[in-house]
Chain A
Amino acid sequence: MVQVNGDAKTEALIQVRDLCKTYIRGNESIEVLRKLNLDIDRGEFIAFMGPSGSGKTTLLNLIGGLDLPTSGSIVVDNDEITVISGNRLTEWRARHVGFIFQLYNLIPVLTAFQNVELPLLLTRLSKSQRREHVETALSIVGLEDRMHHFPRQLSGGQEQRTAIARAIVSDPTFLLCDEPTGDLDRASANEILELLNRLVEEFGKTILMVTHDPVAACNAHTTLHLEKGVLIESSKTECK
């Protein structure tokens, strides 16, 4: 279940309360998010839409612990991340969040296998355990036969699937996707969306996705529109 009025019960996986984010540019202050409330249950697939500069990525960054809000709170799985800072926040992020970006952001000098293995270097897993995790993640995204290829040897869709494998390899609590299909052709985009759906349906992942693509948004359980710093829930029927 997803609610944007702040009245939900406390069992929600992600609880955002009165979230404000203001950027200062010289003498000007730009209020990107205004007292935003949001509750997302486990296993939800949410799409955020809205015009450029509406604060979608900012919201994603705040929920992922990449940035700090001006005011308000974010509680994820009973951890209030807005009061955590420094190394503890870094550790929390490594444990709970998987990130997927529009431009894949793979390390070009590492193979697909090594890119996926990267987050596991921060864990106490042995080399063989790491290998097992990486092979599982790569097989989920259908790239087990490309694991020793470098990013330049992969297509855009394959690169994004590698990025998804990297995001899920440490079994995070939820995934944040910032325009994951934005740089792909329709066929590759559909493959990625299918994969994200599989992660939700088969593996019970919670996914928050920012997109400009209405087709991509229709794959989500719920689409939320962000306009002028406020969230508006849109009906699923808009997709039909």
Chain B
Amino acid sequence: MNGLTLLLVNFRRKRIRTILTICSFAIALFLFGILAVVNAAFYQGIALAGADRLVVRNKISLIMPLPYSYKERLLKVPGIDLVTFGFWFGGVYQSERNFFTQFAIETETYADMFPEFIIPPDQWQAFLGDRQGCIVGQALAERFNWKIGDRIPLKGTIFPGVWEFNLRGIYQGKRPSDDTSQFWLQYKYLEENSDLLEGQVGWYYARVDDPDSAVEVSRIIDSQFANSPYETTTETEKAFMSSFLKQFGNIRLLILTVGGVVFFTLLLITGSNIAISIRERTSEIGIMKTLGFSGARILFMVLAESLLIAVTGGAVGLIMAKLYTFRGDPTGGLLPAFYLSPENIFMGMTAAVLIGLAAGIIPALQSMRLRIVDALRRV
């Protein structure tokens, strides 16, 4: 027998209570994991935004276009070395529930602007060689079980008619949290087959050679187009993503509030269970002290018990959350990167450990300070 044996026998002493406490931890940490995934999915754009990319959009609204001619003028702004653009396609694949992001892109520059997306060169060339070609992300391809060569029809909502595309390539992200749920088509294909574009683009991306100059370059761009029919708002990609997400409300506050309530409730449940468990063993603790177990050792034992429950429950909950994310985005495209990162797993385990410590510290201190004669009197 050793200290670990003692810990384990106490752990198994009231199995139902221990299992229920572990379950409450597991459910809370599962919820934490899912909330963390949702939070990351919502804010991944901000986290992953390129520090050197600016987004130039119509000052009135993102849905208002900008002239194609702005591209050359943007390239002349000091500090900008690359410009590309996109247009929201907004097609429907089979059913409106199958939502995913579709961009008409400028093929000459888009891949250079977004080096975080990896596309095999031969696939990229095949895409360039086919006006009806399209590229999709790995997650999107898996979602609809698409393979290279597949023909994909999209029903246009902005651009009327049914548009057919040939899948020419599948891109992957350099990082696990990169968004691989996008669908890219050629801007030229759209331009050649629709009268709606009329030399307009949805937004521009401009790359600055020095990220520190991003604010100054943004100011220059906006002043250049001031008092024109198409005034611009230019901001860093991070700021753009942030303001875009504000349209959905304060998701982070919601997540923090729900998470905070769950964890506080968990703290009360666990603290109460551990306190009951320790109170039931008051005489045993008295006996152990009589036999020579020091107060510090008793404190450590109680805390270790609390931590064991917390870590077991936390690990179970986070494993469940991780397994759940393997099923992919349950919203059908709203949360493209449905991924529980190692950082969030670490945060979850840290939270579990802290709650375990917080729940155990009061009973542990009471046990440490318990006078032997008082403990023995309670037999």
Contact = CB atoms under 8 A, between A and B. Distances in A.
Contacts of A109: 9-10, 12-13
B10 to A, nearest CB: 7
A105 B292 contact: no
A122 interface: yes
Interface string B263-307: 000000000000000000001100111111111100000000000
Contacts of B284: 105, 107
Contacts of A95: 292
B292 A91 contact: yes
A66 B12 CA distance: 30
B290 A93 contact: yes
Contacts of B1: 110, 114, 117-118, 121
B196 interface: no
A115 to B, nearest CB: 10
A101 interface: yes
B120 interface: no
Given A105-B283, A105-B287, A90 B292 contact: yes
B2 interface: yes
A114 B291 contact: no
Interface residues of A, number: 24
Q: Is the interface of A mostly helix, strand, loop or mixed?
A: helix
Contacts of A61: 372-373
A122 B291 contact: yes
Contacts of B289: 90
B379 interface: yes
A114 B1 CA distance: 7
A99 B373 contact: no
A101 B292 contact: no
Interface in B330-379: 371-373, 376, 379
A119 B291 contact: yes
Nearest to A119: B291
Interface string A111-147: 0001001110110000000000000000000000000
B228 interface: no
B193 interface: no
A8 to B, nearest CB: 28
Contact of A99 (B12, B13, B291, B294): B291
A141 to B, nearest CB: 17
B129 interface: no
A105 B376 CA distance: 9
The 3 closest A-B pairs by CB, nearest first: A94-B292, A109-B9, A119-B291
Interface of B: 1-3, 5-6, 9-10, 12-13, 283-284, 287-296, 371-373, 376, 379
